[in-house]
Structure 1
Amino acid sequence: MNSFLCVWRPQDKQSWQNEYEIYNLSGMRHENLLHFLGAEKRGNNMDIELWLITAYHEKGSLTDYLKANVLSWSELCHIAQTTARGLAYLHEDIPGLKDGHKPAIAHRDIKSKNILLKSNLTACIADFGLAQRFEAGKSAGDTHGQVGTRRYMAPEVLEGAINFQRDSFLRIDMYALGLVLWELAARCKAADGPVDEYMLPFEEEIGQHPSLEDMQDVVVHKKLRPMLRECWQKHTGLTMLCETIEECWDHEAEARLSAGCVEERMVQMQRLNNVTAPEEIVTVVTMVTNVDYPPKESSL
């Protein structure tokens, strides 16, 4: 396995420590989570280097991949499904594992930059520097609500109106997942229409460097979301994806889908890819009709 070394600055020690602790929790080995190999502190307090060693995936982040590539329907389904599977596993509370009890974990910085792609386009979620664990009977600790990347912040995060409970943090992840799914849709060639150049969520509305006030105005006050193109509605699978996206980024946190539900939807979407298209059926029927078979003996 190829490895990747990330060197953290001393001022980011808290994030490094948090990521190290999250990776060392029970049950954190999963195909759709970035594989952790080790961590080290190098040097002294005056000149310290914080190392984090993980698996290396040469295709890089989903952001970088979408900038350079358009997706087939099959590729979109695979990336979406494996991303949702990773997030569903992260969110799940799993007792009784061989190495102990895996708590529910909110990522708190879901974005396409923090999703890496393996050589076969299987997604794995990375960067747990802001992740929050939720263990039964234990306090969530010193939790700050307004964290993450502005562009992907849910309305309640932008408003500073978070209910500091486990499910509230999991729903914040789901809002961000909706934006990532939109990024996938925008770079898919399955619809009968042009594929736009890659853009970040809300880049069309407020540019590449939005302020917190910009995001509050667009997401909270105007309740805008990135545009779902009309041509997407003419493709059965993309129609289902659009419905899923809208249910993920719903303004009301309680109305958002769970990661497990999104994973199930993506499985259904992928099945649509295996259904023979109507024009293909017509072609097959025509071919069969034009073949001369010997008369069939009567069974009567």
Structure 2
Amino acid sequence: MDPWLRDLVAGTVAGSVSTVFMHPLDLLKIRLQLDGNLGTVLRSLRQSDGPYAGKFRGLYKGLYRGLGINLLGNAAGYGVYFSLYGIVKKMHLFDGPHGYFFNALITGTATSIATNPLWVLKTRICSTNAGHVDAYSSMLDGVKRIYSQEGIKGFWRGQIPSLLGVVQAAVQFGFYDWAKEQVKLARSRDPSNSYDISLTKEGAPSYLSTKEYLLLSSTSKAVSTVLLYPYQVVRSKLQRYDAGKMYSSIGDCISKIYSNGGFFAFYRGLVPNLLRVLPATCITFVVYEKVNEQLEEVR
């Protein structure tokens, strides 16, 4: 199987698995970013009026609203990202330690632009209950209404702050890939290592242990998230269904967030986000690596 296809399949599977498990926390993160109060968010799942008007139809249904678009977005996003990243690396545009970051930056930019419409739909679906007067009844309904009300540019709302998120992804992915290579190199120089792993033709270990994948993926994600989390809050604000009425520009959005909550308003939803992204990242990278390892054996 060609490497790019192997990465595409492994990335798609990894994104799908992590999304199914972690979607409820993703939904809570979005609503906390928009409303800022956990009590309000939890009550919104039960209210018949208010910001998320709609009858509570069970915890499962409430917490899994928007799963379809989130699953589609993450499956496509991770599949394209992992596959394109491998292609960009083979082009050798950048060499040395900084190459990991810039390769990830190029990959992330292309993936972000291609998938932004999915994230606009996801944010709007997850920010309202099914009974809300402005809620989309389906993904297709959302596409039709965005196009009719806002035109094609509506699908790329929040794109600029999303591109800032590419920097976060580049920091995370670049660090992860660099650290993974350093572990492999260190192990290849240590003839006494006793890990049960396969070797490349050159004798260097090609696979890491599951614990090592978990450690490297969680560390890279935690650092990049804390450094660049504020952009996610700004992006969510700009992608909500009534953003055009609330904010005249990105600067206006940032100003209103600060005036309404100060510096810490840019970190609303950080804790549930970390609780979501760390396990999700670990699941994603471990599943990706393990599926990739299995596919590598397919001839």
With normalisation by structure 2, the TM-score equals 0.27
Greater Cα radius of gyration, structure 1 or 2:
1
Larger strand share, 1 or 2: 1
Larger helix share, 1 or 2: 2
